[in-house]
């Protein structure tokens, strides 16, 4: 399975980031639409500080994150 990085992510799958706190960009919260994040998939892998997590959308519309 090919690794997806932010450098090779297709633009159609790239999440749109919205800055909510325009006063201080250092502490701005980002909002990403889950449909844009997941695309046609029900799960995605997130690498955080050397650990890979799986973010999954359930059939009940909930999000689960596991190691």
pTM: 0.57
Q: What is the rounded (10 degree) CA torsion for 19, 21, 27, 32?
A: -30
19-40 pLDDT, tens digit each: 555 566 666 788 889 999 999 9
Q: 54: which residues sit within 8 A by CB, 6+ positions away?
A: 43, 44, 45, 46, 65, 66, 67
Mean pLDDT, all residues of the chain: 78
What does the pLDDT read at residue 1? 44
Length of the chain: 67
Which residue's entry shows tokens 């932010």? 6
9-23 pLDDT, tens digit each: 555 555 665 555 556
42-59 pLDDT, tens digit each: 999 999 999 999 999 999
Q: In this structure, what token pair is assigned to residue 48?
A: 């955080």
């Amino acid at each position: 399975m090919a690794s997806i990085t932010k450098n090779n992510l297709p633009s159609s799958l790239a999440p749109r980031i919205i800055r909510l706190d325009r006063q201080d960009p250092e502490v701005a919260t980002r909002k990403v639409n889950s449909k844009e994040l997941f695309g046609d998939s029900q799960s995605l892998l997130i690498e955080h500080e050397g650990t890979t997590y799986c973010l999954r959308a359930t059939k009940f519309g909930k999000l689960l994150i596991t190691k």
